[in-house]
Copies of this chain bind each other. A is one copy, B any other.
Amino acid sequence: MTETINPSQKVLASVDKLWEEEIEFLQTIARFPSTIEYEGSLQLYLKNFFQNELQMDVETVDVDEKEISSLPGYSPSEWSYAGRPVVVAKAPRNSRESEGSSLLFQGHVDVVSPEPKHKWSVDPWGAQRIGDRLYGRGVLDMKSGVAAMIYAYKAIREAGYEPASDFSIKTVIEEEATGNGTLAAANAGHLADAVLIPEPFGQCPSTAQLGSIWLRIHIDTSSNLQSDQTGVGANAIEKAQSVIEALQSYREYVNRDEQKPPEFAHMEEPIDVEVGTMHSGDFASNIPVEATLEVRSAVYPGKDPAEGKQDLIDWILDKTKDDEWLREHPPAFESFGFHAEGMVMPEEDPLFAKLDEAHELVTGKQCGRQAIPVTTDARYYGLYYDTPVTCYGPSGAKMHEPDEWVDLESVKNVTKVYADFLIRWCGIYKKEGES
Contacts and interface: CB of A to CB of B under 8 A. Distances in A.
A398 to B, nearest CB: 5
B225 A401 contact: yes
Contact of A237 (B113, B177, B244, B290): B244
Interface in A230-252: 230-232, 235, 237-238, 241, 244-245, 248
Interface in A278-304: 278-291, 293-296
27 contacts: A112-B283, A113-B282, A116-B222, A116-B289, A212-B285, A214-B284, A225-B401, A228-B397, A228-B405, A229-B398, A230-B399, A235-B274, A237-B278, A237-B293, A238-B244, A238-B275, A275-B281, A275-B288, A277-B283, A278-B279, A278-B280, A278-B291, A279-B280, A284-B294, A285-B400, A287-B401, A289-B401
A386 interface: no
A230 B407 CA distance: 13
Contacts of A397: 228-230
B279 A279 contact: yes
Nearest to A247: B238
A115 interface: yes
A356 interface: no
Q: Which 8 pairs across A and B sit closest by C-beta, in order of nearness?
A: A277-B281, A276-B284, A113-B283, A284-B294, A237-B275, A230-B397, A115-B282, A286-B400
A85 interface: no
Interface in A245-280: 245, 248, 274-280
Interface string A192-224: 000000000000000000001010000000100
A337 B284 CA distance: 9
Contacts of A275: 235, 237-238, 281, 288
A295 B237 CA distance: 11
Interface of A: 112-113, 115-116, 119, 176-177, 212, 214, 222, 225, 228-232, 235, 237-238, 241, 244-245, 248, 274-291, 293-296, 337-338, 397-403, 405
B222 A119 contact: yes
